[in-house]
Structure 1
């Protein structure tokens, strides 16, 4: 993969709670200059990022129900609507992890369906937080997400343990043959690890180490 194509699959990420406007500005300038897919930021900074990225090829990923996922469906849909109105192009929401661990798949399906409706034509990514899940839970959650029309299933928030490559493989296998892709995030800070994910069919990388990866790619 050449540098330009690689940049186009990167969600250039800054989700630290102490992030400042100055840091968001730097993130957006870098993303705009390199044509990263999106900047991934907290909702409060969406209007500012939208003003900085106006006219560029870079979108804005908003973190929804982040990082624990313990919002009601109604609250998640409301937050999605607010973020889209503010200028987001992508919405990454953390699913209801408690419901998932209880095996309440009807709740997981309903949540995915309602969030898909709320997102409309924008891009929806569902975060599974795979380090907390069994292999079977990862498989079922990925499949339900695909069946309900998610554009991506995403490995992790980056706040907990990094996903293993084996867990990424379960996700890519679960959504194979559907219109849903996999976004790898959480500890993807080396080109070796990123390449392993890409070889499995991952289509988007969420990282705060974009320039380190680019240096490794070019070398």
Structure 2
């Protein structure tokens, strides 16, 4: 059993009182120190490739088929859902305003509905992220990808970061929460700590990038993140994953979910250039 298992889930107090309950002051600093230490020890002994030679036969089942363009139309969303059904992708990932429509389109399908919260900057309050989450779940979202408070991570304001994630996890209920770190904006130490905080808060995944930042997923970051979270959380790679080879590198590094708009190119082994010429839809991921 993990030494921090009693704090893996947020407390059950009224979420509006979360910041002032005192739990963060009394318990979290010690937990952060413990989990970061465990992560560091894993990193020093981690292989250069986490799952070398491992490649799933059902690659589509690893993919969140993504469309986060603000100008996406109903026709674009219907096409996204039709593709997801055809290829059996894990989820479709759309902006919150489109969740209800997409949930209707996918009703009766094994394809799940994923949405984003605090996207793409993560610079909204924890209470507003929690509100977004509750509304998205009511509309039919089954997975939540939230953006971490990057500025608070870089300021070492870890209590704020943790409360931010806790609020979303609590609001999500039984829906898995993926915490987007925006790794291109963080140092190695900050990535480790962000993973540690996500783990303490009860997230289901840590995720590399929004796809809107200064950089995307790298195999090195995926390996680092997996080394910190171990088997207790999963890792999602997103941002710049456009080919089968890209996906293979991420999965070998430890990713169990891929966020991509070039999903069909990935599963069919086409190049992104071929995919664009056939679909006409430019990838953001």
TM-score, structure 1 length as denominator?
A: 0.95
SS at 2:235 equivalent: strand
Deviation at 1:163, TM superposition (A): 2.8
Q: Is the aligned partner of 1:146 residue 2:199? A: yes
Mapping of residues 28-177 of structure 1, within 5 Å? 28-160=81-213, 161-177=215-231
SS at 2:108 equivalent: coil
Quote the Cα distance in structure 2 between the aligned partners of 1:115 and 1:214: 32
Give the aligned CA root-mean-square deviation in angstroms. 1.2
Match of 1:209 in 2: 262
Q: Which moved more, 1:6-15 or 1:108-117?
A: 108-117
Match of 2:283 in 1: none
What CA deviation, in whole Å up to 9, does each residue of 1:60-99 have, x standing for no partner? 1111111001111100000000000000000101011111
Quote the Cα distance in structure 1 between the aligned partners of 2:238 and 2:247: 10
Deviation at 1:2, TM superposition (A): 5.3
Match of 2:68 in 1: 15
Quote the Cα distance in structure 1 between the aligned partners of 2:153 and 2:141: 27
Quote the Cα distance in structure 1 between the aligned partners of 2:265 and 2:84: 14
SS at 1:62 equivalent: strand
Quote the Cα distance in structure 2 between the aligned partners of 1:197 and 1:63: 21
Quote the Cα distance in structure 2 between the aligned partners of 1:186 and 1:107: 26
Give the unaligned 5+ runs of structure 2.
1-54, 271-285
8 Å contact from structure 2 (residues 66, 94) kept in 1: yes
Deviation at 1:183, TM superposition (A): 0.3
Higher RCO (CA < 8 A, seq sep 6+)? 2
What CA deviation, in whole Å up to 9, does each residue of 1:180-211 have, x standing for no partner? 11000000112222111111221100000111
SS at 1:8 equivalent: helix
Quote the Cα distance in structure 2 between the aligned partners of 1:34 and 1:216: 13
Aligned residues: 215
